[in-house]
Structure 1
Amino acid sequence: MSADAARGPDGFVRCPWSLSAPEYVAYHDTEWGWPVDTVAGLYERLTLEAFQSGLAWITILRKREGFRRAFAGFDPAVVAGFGEDDRARLMADAGIVRNAAKIDAALANARVVADLGERFVDLVWSFRTPSPRPGPDEFRAVTPASTALAKALKREGIRFVGPTTAYALMQATGLVDDHRSDCEVPDAAVLHAAVEAAAARRAEDPGRTG
């Protein structure tokens, strides 16, 4: 264990960033890096990562239920049908981040994702980048894969996503495992097995539905 490793109250070592708030601990342990391979799940993560741009992630986590209510549970087929009244409702909703450019991007992206369907999941997962967990002194915010993913998403019409946002999406959804090498929660082998299972499902049945 490195000298600056962060040990939680339960005695387990975690990535240091996760221990600054209870919401971070829960997100770190149960979501960050775990595979997300559904259309709605990836649309939610894409939307939240875009809204986070320029803000602290804790702000998004604390407003997450508000986002889910405002964006119809992140069902892209429903959000794709939002009109001007819905946009006005979102702009007035204190339960989310009221940023016009980000809201417009979320609505436009819903139309793209709804049209792509499972092909959206296949596209995102095609940029999965298996690699060892980073050491305590390693930090990655952009990679060649995230740059390529951002370009691929933009070609499809996805807005408000650059290489940094794309990498955050990859970290959040299992495309890379950026838990530190000394992080004990979640267990590296368990997380790896879950990601491999998700990748195998897509390889066996690309474009699957449900």
Structure 2
Amino acid sequence: MGPVTGEDGVARCPWAGGPGVMRDYHDTEWGNRVSGESAYLERLTLEAFQSGLSWSTILHKRPAFREVFHGFDADAIAAFGPPDVERLMQEPRIVRNRLKIEAAVTNARATVALREEDGLEAFVLSFAPDRPPTEHATTSAESVALSKGLKKRGFAFVGPTTMYALMEAIGVFDPHVVGCFRRGS
């Protein structure tokens, strides 16, 4: 599947052809490298929350996620206990899924523990492919290996498809289709 040209005359990945939050995300964020532990923890957490839902839903709720998860500060989230989970289960501005909320806390604790190695950012980047995966893939050998490596270190909700989406989102490889104006940027 090739690019779609929007009403503005710009060729984009097919899912970002029309105006709105998805196109804005595509044009300004998707496939761009991020840096820092909180940026990686945010993307990992939001990809987990997106599982089974539309990315548009997550983007619309992202400001609330950032607020209730303290800017994705790993130490702050790692300190959450059962009352915090219950508070978040009552928060209508986010996705209220107990398993995903508990996974966010688990992953923050695992992120803190991963500091004893090189940290979350270095760990994720160590799984960058030598060559970009083929277009339209949903997993890769690298996303499978990243998933296994994170699970081994105590992370949850980090399956191979979710990790592939993370790798796309944070620019571990260029996810844009050939012909998209963002390809190679």
TM range (shorter): over 0.9
Residue number in structure 1 paired with 2:120: 120
Whether the aligned pair in 2 keeps the contact of 1:130 and 1:175 (CA below 8 Å) is no
Counterpart Cα distance in 2 of 1:9 and 1:69: 34
Write the deviation string for residues 28-71 of structure 1: whole angstroms up to 9, x where unpaired.
Answer: 01111100221000000000000011111111011000111110
Are the equivalent residues in 2 in contact too, given 1:133–1:180 (CA < 8 A)?
Answer: no
Listed as ranges, the gaps of 5+ residues in structure 1 are 192-210
Q: Shift of residue 21 of structure 1?
A: 5.0
Change (3 A) 1:37 1:23: same
Note if contact 2:3-2:178 (Cα within 8 Å) is conserved in structure 1: no
Pick from 40, 52, 75 the counterpart of residue 54 of structure 1. 52
Task: Provide the TM-score with structure 1 as the length reference.
Answer: 0.82
| 8 Å contact from structure 2 (residues 47, 166) kept in 1 | yes
**1:149 counterpart (146, 149, 154):** 146
Give the conservation status (yes or no) of the 8 Å contact 1:47–1:106.
yes
Contact 1:130/1:176 (8 A) holds in 2: no
Secondary structure class of the residue paired with 2:17: helix
Identical amino acids, percent of aligned pairs: 46
Count of residue pairs the alignment pairs up: 183
Q: CA deviation at 1:85?
A: 1.8
Instruction: Give the structure 1 partner of residue 157 of structure 2.
Output: 160
Supply the AA of the counterpart residue of 2:128. Answer: R
1:156–1:24 distance in 2 versus 1, CA, 3 Å: same
The answer for unaligned runs of 5 or more in structure 2 is none
**RMSD between superposed Cα atoms in Å:** 1.7
CA distance in 2: counterparts of 1:171 and 1:152, whole angstroms: 18
Q: Larger helix proportion, structure 1 or 2? A: 1
Q: 1:116-165 CA distances to partner (integer Å, 9 max, x unpaired)?
A: 2352111100011253585xxx4110111100010001011000111100
Is the 1:76–1:114 contact (alpha carbons within 8 Å) kept by the matching residues of 2? Answer: yes
Q: d(CA) in 2 for partners of 1:46 and 1:132? A: 20
**TM-score, normalised via structure 2 length:** 0.93
Distance 1:162 1:150 in 2: 5
CA distance in structure 2 between the partners assigned to 1:157 and 1:102 by the alignment:
14
**1:87 is matched with which residue?**
85
